[in-house]
């Protein structure tokens, strides 16, 4: 038999998986950009465990998929598929999804599982009580109540339509990695819930404004697109990106973020700026930064590297309201070029950092183009791992901009992908959450005279103090 990926031939019979293209790709992403090769299909090969083990044993990691009328149930095995009349314990990812609806959600668990094969069945039992048994000769399937509950199934049948087993190539032989990839979807949902519930500190502003600054090509506009994509549940390219040596972004643009679930605009905005360049009269002029921070620059202002901003250019008041000011600045840097920034670029970044401090604005650094993004967060997908905080690039950014390590964040923006990746989304959401925390800290630290509402009235100190306690509760909930 000559197996060619998911399509091959068996005695001149075409073997084609029942997985749709999108289902196949999402399952590959679920396991960290793995590739699937179809080894066994019950309706083509013999319906017996002897044939099953003959095709699948000693093939490395495998994925068994059972198709029901409305749902799909599967188990990924990190270790080799067992021989007939043998058993082995393996790290397994159990998962399920609705047919033709995988993009709307997938339930998954990582469990130590005992896998047994005998003359009549393939049995999988986890130490936590989940049991799945496949009877090839009868095309029968047994799922106990624990499986149905934990994988959120709605099973009303004991017969299956098809059983397929795939070899999984290109996966890391690391149970911790598998668990992180599988549980990323659950954490993505948690981050979404937290960010949807976010409200700026003490309701001093209706929306937090986050300014993105950094060298040309560092990934500012790509981060805007990545955030919008993650919240909309689909890839979007609203902000123009490019690879030219000069900045593609020439305007100051304010992007609102819309939540796909309820179609509402979320209470934070990303403000994109022209890229910094080494030359004095090229790229964003650093003298423009204080005007942007103070809220004097309107949306879609056309930057002019040769003519710094002057207040006479706008009809804005000299002291715009708090809602129009910047509340957090994110220094966006390509992690691969941090160590090679020119002295001129470092000087510009330091000048901007000083302006940020002088204006009392929150501050983080965002390192983009992280290649091993699956290693950035700890196993709980909450904090940066200790080994990552010792990276030379992180230390260099800390020393250069005097930004605490906890506020030096890492992401892998969406660039040429065709679909969303849960772990990328988790990193994007984690970075955004830390930016909002930095903004809240800055809002909490404002002097009383800066906390006037839009109508000019001031919040009294007791109100600020009481709201401060509420804000602290909100930040604890976000952590």
pLDDT per residue over 12-22, tens digit each? 456 799 999 98
Once rounded to an integer, what is the mean pLDDT over residues 28-37? 85
Categorise residue 283: left if φ over 0, alpha if ψ from -120 to 50, beta otherwise: left
Q: What percent of the chain shows pLDDT beyond 90?
A: 56
Most confident of 159-173, 246-260, 314-328: 159-173
Beta bridge partners of 36: 168
Q: Is the pLDDT of residue 476 over 60?
A: no
- Answer whether residue 195 shows pLDDT above 90: yes
Of 280, 226, 243, whose CA–CA distance to 412 is shortest?
226
pLDDT at position 197 is 93
Is pLDDT at 461 greater than 90 in this prediction? no
The residues near 455 (Cβ < 8 Å, ≥ 6 apart) are none
Is pLDDT above 80 for 2? no
User: What distance in Å separates the CA atoms of residue 369 and residue 360, rounded to the nearest whole number?
Assistant: 29
For residues 1 and 15, what is the distance between their CA atoms, to the nearest angstrom? 11
Instruction: Band the pLDDT of 373: cuts 50, 70, 90.
Output: confident
Instruction: Answer positive or negative: Cα dihedral of 330, 334, 335, 337.
Output: negative
CB neighbours of residue 373 within 10 Å = 16
Contact 67, 162 (CB under 8 A): yes
Confidence label for 267 from pLDDT (cuts 50, 70 and 90) = very high
Residue with tokens 């500190």: 201
Q: What is the pTM of this model?
A: 0.78
Under the banding of pLDDT at 50, 70 and 90, the label for residue 298 is confident
Q: Which domains, and CATH codes, for the chain?
A: 2-173 (no CATH), 180-478 (3.40.50.300)
Please say if the pLDDT value at position 234 is more than 80: yes
What's the CA gap between 67 and 25, in Å, rounded? 17
For position 315, what pLDDT does the model report? 58
Mean pLDDT value across residues 196-201: 95
The pLDDT value recorded for residue 389 is 61
C-beta separation of 62 from 77 below 8 A: yes
Encode 3-30: b = buried (16+ Cβ within 10 Å), e = exposed: eeebebebeeeebebebeeebbbbbbbb
Q: Which tens digit of pLDDT belongs to each residue from 382-439?
A: 767 666 665 788 999 999 999 999 999 999 999 888 778 888 899 999 999 999 999 9
Q: Which of 58-62, 113-117, 184-188 has the lowest mean pLDDT?
A: 184-188
Looking at residues 153-166, what average pLDDT do you find? 89
pLDDT of residue 311: 66
Nearest by Cα to 69 from 128, 139, 135: 139
Between CA 296 and CA 310 the distance in angstroms is 10
Q: Can you tell me the distance from the alpha carbon of 269 to that of 432, in angstroms, rounded to the nearest whole number?
A: 11
Q: Which residue has the higher pLDDT, 391 or 120?
A: 120
Per-residue confidence (pLDDT) for residue 242, from 0 to 100: 57
Place 104 in a pLDDT band, splitting at 50, 70 and 90.
low
Average pLDDT, the chain: 85
Q: Which of 28-37, 75-84, 287-296, 423-432 has the lowest mean pLDDT?
A: 28-37
Question: What average pLDDT score do residues 248-255 get?
Answer: 85
Nearest Cα residue to 128 out of 107, 141, 143, 114: 114
CB 216 within 8 A of CB 245: yes
> What is the pLDDT, as a whole number, of residue 247?
62
Q: What is the pLDDT at residue 160?
A: 95
Tell me the residue ranges of DSSP E strands in 19-161: 35-41, 62-67, 71-77, 86-98, 107-117, 122-126, 131-135, 140-143
The token pair at 201 is 């500190």
């Amino acid at each position: 038999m000559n197996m060619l990926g998911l399509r091959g031939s068996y005695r001149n019979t075409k073997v084609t998986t029942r997985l749709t293209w999108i289902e196949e790709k999402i399952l590959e992403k679920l396991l960290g950009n793995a590739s699937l090769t179809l080894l066994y299909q019950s309706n083509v090969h013999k319906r017996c465990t002897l044939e099953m083990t003959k095709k699948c044993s000693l093939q490395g990691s495998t994925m068994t998929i059972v198709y029901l009328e409305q749902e799909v149930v599967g188990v990924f095995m990190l270790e080799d598929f067992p021989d007939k009349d043998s058993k082995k314990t393996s790290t397994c990812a159990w998962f399920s999804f609705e047919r033709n609806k995988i993009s709307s959600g997938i339930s998954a668990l990582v469990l130590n599982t005992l896998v047994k094969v005998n003359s009549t069945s393939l049995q999988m039992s986890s130490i936590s009580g989940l049991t799945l048994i496949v009877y090839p000769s009868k095309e029968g399937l047994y799922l106990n109540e624990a499986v149905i509950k934990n994988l959120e199934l709605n099973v009303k049948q004991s017969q299956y339509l098809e059983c397929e087993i795939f070899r999984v190539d290109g996966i890391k032989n690391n149970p911790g990695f598998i668990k992180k990839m599988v549980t990323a979807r659950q954490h993505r949902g948690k981050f979404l819930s937290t960010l949807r519930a976010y409200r700026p500190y003490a309701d001093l502003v209706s929306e937090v404004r986050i300014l993105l600054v950094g060298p040309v090509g560092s990934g500012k506009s790509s981060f805007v697109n990545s955030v919008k994509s993650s919240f909309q549940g689909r890839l979007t390219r609203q902000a123009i990106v490019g690879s030219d040596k000069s900045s593609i972004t020439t305007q100051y643009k304010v992007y609102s973020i819309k939540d796909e679930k309820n179609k509402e605009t979320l209470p934070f905005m990303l403000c994109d700026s022209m890229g910094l360049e080494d030359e004095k009269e090229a790229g964003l002029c650093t003298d423009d930064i204080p005007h942007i921070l103070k809220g004097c620059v309107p949306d879609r202002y056309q930057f002019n590297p040769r003519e710094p901003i002057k207040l006479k250019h706008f009809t804005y008041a000299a002291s715009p309201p708090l809602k129009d000011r910047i509340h957090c600045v994110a220094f966006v840097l390509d992690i691969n070029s941090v160590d090679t920034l020119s002295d001129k670029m470092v000087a510009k970044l330091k000048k901007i950092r000083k302006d940020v401090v002088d204006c009392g604005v929150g501050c983080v650094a965002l390192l983009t183009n992280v290649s091993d993004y699956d290693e950035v967060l700890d196993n709980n997908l909450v904090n940066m791992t200790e080994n990552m905080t010792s990276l030379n690039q992180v230390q260099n950014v800390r020393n250069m901009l005097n930004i605490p390590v906890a506020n030096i964040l890492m992401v892998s923006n969406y660039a040429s992908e065709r679909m969303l990746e849960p772990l990328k989304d988790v990193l994007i959401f984690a970075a955004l959450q830390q930016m909002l925390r930095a903004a809240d800290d800055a809002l909490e630290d404002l002097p009383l005279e800066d906390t006037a509402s839009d109508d000019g009235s001031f919040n009294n100190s007791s109100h600020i103090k009481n709201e401060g306690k509420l804000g602290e509760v909100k930040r604890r909930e976000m952590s």
